[in-house]
Amino acid sequence: MRGVPRALLLLAAAGLTLGAAKPRLVPDVSQSRIEIRYQFTGVELLLFGAILYPGGRAPAEQADIVVVVKGPVQPLVVREKQKVAGIWMNVESARFRSAPSFYAVASSRPLPRLVDDRAAAIYELGLRNLQLSPGPGSSPDVQRRFESGLVELMARRGLYVEDPKGVEITEGVLYRAHIRIPAQVPVGNYTAETFLIKDGRVLAGATRDIRIEKLGFERWVAQAANRWALAYGVVAVGLSLLLGWGAATLFRRR
């Protein structure tokens, strides 16, 4: 997972610039392992933690918290429909090498008021600042168009979320945020990053890993479909033959 080492790097960088008297974050998540079972309809993740200030006292002016939950990155193609001879069909397309499969950001205040564009781009804060690594060969204008198309589409599916008031801070030291993980997220290793921000600077950062996996019957089916594709197909055909034949004989007897 690329997210983890990068976040660690950020942590180290934050530590270097701040010297000894730096605040520290102690983050946690309600579930570090999310299991997809047959009745999985998504899950509400609670991200919470404490801000430890040196001396144990919160400063008079409150700092802000941003939490980011990111799914595994994936390469993808975005296609754009245009009207051709009265029919809407895919005409142009663009590739992105590293689009997160899930991205949710929550902050205690709207992001533009917390960080400038540069910091937002470095820490990938906000839907406008995702590092999607567009493929070669298209102008920046076209890339931006496809980027916003992708972000809009994923947002509509509930896979990209930005909640500008999603983090609550109590007493200046405790924070918590709810982030909803919808049912259609892919499995894999996710990261939950927390940033402490003041005056446009990231004072501290911390990461927790979350693993989302299929379990039990669901895991078995997904694995079987991939590993034993032919046997899986035979079973599917057998199941349908059995059900069809079963219903026919059952109803004939009556």
Partner 1 sequence: MDIYLPIAGLSVNALVIVLLGGVVGLLTGMIGVGGGFLTTPILIFYGIPPAVAVASATTQITGTSVSGVLAHRRRKGVDYRMGAVIIAGGLFGAGAGGVIFRLLQKTGQIDTVINLLYVLLLGSIGVLMAKESATALDIIRPRGGRAPKPPKRHNPLIASLPMRWRFYASGLYISPLAPLLLGFVGGMLTVLLGVGGGFIMVPAMIYVLGMSAQVVVGTSLLQILFVTAATTLIHATTTKSVDVVLAGLLLLGSVIGAQFGARFAQKAKPELLRMFLAIVILGVALRMAIGLGWRPEEIYTVQLL
20 to 49: interface string for partner 1, x by CB under 8 A: ----------------xxxxxxx-------
Considering the rule CB under 8 A, would residue 87 count as an interface residue with partner 1? yes
Rounded to the nearest 10 degrees, the angle between the axes of helix 229-253 and helix 216-227 is 120
Q: Which of 68, 132, 154, 173 binds partner 1 (CB under 8 A)?
A: 154
CA distance 171 to 164: 20
Judged by CB under 8 A, does residue 215 bind partner 1? no
* Residue located via tokens 């990155």: 73
- CA 34 from chain center: how many Å? 13
Residues between 91 and 110 that touch partner 1 (CB under 8 A): 93, 95
Q: Is 74 in the site for partner 1 (CB under 8 A)?
A: yes
What is the distance between the alpha carbons of residues 76 and 143, in angstroms, rounded to a whole number? Answer: 14
Task: Compare residues 13 and 237 and give the one whose CB is closer to partner 1.
Answer: 237
Q: How do beta strands 33-36 and 160-163 pair?
A: unpaired
Residue in the structure block whose two tokens are 């029919």: 87
CB of 250 to partner 1, least distance (A): 8
Alpha-carbon distance of 170 to 180, in angstroms, equals 21
Q: Is residue 171 classed exposed, middle or buried when 0-12, 13-18 and 19+ CB atoms within 10 A define those classes?
A: exposed
- Number of chain residues interacting with partner 1 (CB under 8 A): 59
Q: Which residues bind partner 1 (CB under 8 A)?
A: 36-42, 74-81, 83, 86-90, 93, 95, 146, 149-150, 152-154, 156, 183-184, 186, 214, 217-219, 221-222, 225-226, 229-230, 232-237, 239-241, 243-248, 251
